[in-house]
A = this chain, B = another copy of it.
Amino acid sequence: MRIAYQGEPGAYSEAAALLYSPHTETLPCKAFDEVFDAVVQKRATHGIVPMENSIGGTIHRNYDLLVDHEIPITGEVELDVVHCLQALPGTKLEDITIVYSHPQALAQCERYLKELGVTVEAVYDTAGGAKLVAEQRLRGAAALASRRAAEVFGLEVLQEAVQDYEYNITRFFVIGGALPTDGNKTTIVFALPSTPGSLFRALSVFALRDINLSKLESRPIRGRPWEYLFYVDIEARRDDLPCARALTQLGEFAKWIRVLGTYKGWERGKVQPGG
């Protein structure tokens, strides 16, 4: 098993891959589409991509890539994004004068950094900041990155969970590999015309069968101002009879439907499904 992810070693996506399957081999990629390419070209057995974050929202780009490829979703991971202030071993908190990280991480720790009274400097990704501090042996400098990044680059974590908002979760999809036999959740994408009641009719196919939905999101379709895409997570297997019937009926209303995969939903605090 080898999981392709976007980012440098130590990136949160790599941490998510290792949470899904603790001793797996990982393959860093520069961009999200390269993660899909790595699976298509069999350089990796699986890929992992972030789909939504509790602060930043849904990453539409990765839904587009799922629709554009024939690679099914086979797993789900939810990762707590825990920013750790990390520096060369032996560094004291009061010696830190500059902190390197991705602007989004710096923004999520804004109050903390202000109290620390340090200069901040943007870098391309969080793990890249840790790499910079480690490789250039920067004294008096720290990075904001995952605990995994500190392990990869031999840095010491000075303070853990320094973000201003404690609830910061990223949800990832695992793609590729064998179809899971214990799937209990199905993700679909479908398009509807923007007419009153069209979504209501579409949702009736689930409601009338007592099937619960755990995510529903509309998105305008580019170039087609009166059509919407919907992302829906269904709490059922694709081939459960009620779900299969609901999807058939949905086909009567939707312009198109794509089932992106049936997989085992992530259970927080439980043993990892891919371990």
Contact = CB atoms under 8 A, between A and B. Distances in A.
Interface of A: 30-31, 52, 54-61, 102-104, 106-107, 110, 120, 122-125, 167, 194-197, 199-201, 203-204, 206-207, 210-220, 222-223
Given A125-B103, A203-B200, A61 B55 contact: yes
Contacts of A54: 60, 219-220, 222
B215 A218 contact: yes
A219 B167 CA distance: 13
Given A57-B52, A58-B57, A122-B102, A207 B212 contact: no
A63 B219 CA distance: 17
B124 A124 contact: no
A59 B57 contact: yes
Nearest to A201: B207
Contacts of A31: 107, 110
A61 B220 CA distance: 21
Contacts of A55: 59-61
Contact of A120 (B124, B201, B218): B124
A207 B197 contact: yes
A103 B124 contact: yes
A200 B200 contact: yes
Contacts of A201: 207
A204 B200 contact: yes
A106 to B, nearest CB: 7
A216 B216 CA distance: 7
Contacts of A123: 103, 122
A167 B195 CA distance: 23
Contacts of A206: 196, 200
A20 to B, nearest CB: 20
A235 B57 CA distance: 23
Contacts of A61: 55
Contacts of A59: 55-57
Specify which of A57, A60, A104, A124 lies most central, judged by the most chain B CB atoms within 10 Å of its CB.
A57
Contacts of A120: 124
A218 B216 contact: yes
A52 B220 CA distance: 12
17 contacts: A30-B110, A54-B60, A54-B220, A54-B222, A55-B60, A56-B60, A120-B124, A122-B124, A196-B212, A197-B207, A199-B216, A200-B200, A200-B203, A200-B204, A200-B206, A216-B216, A216-B218
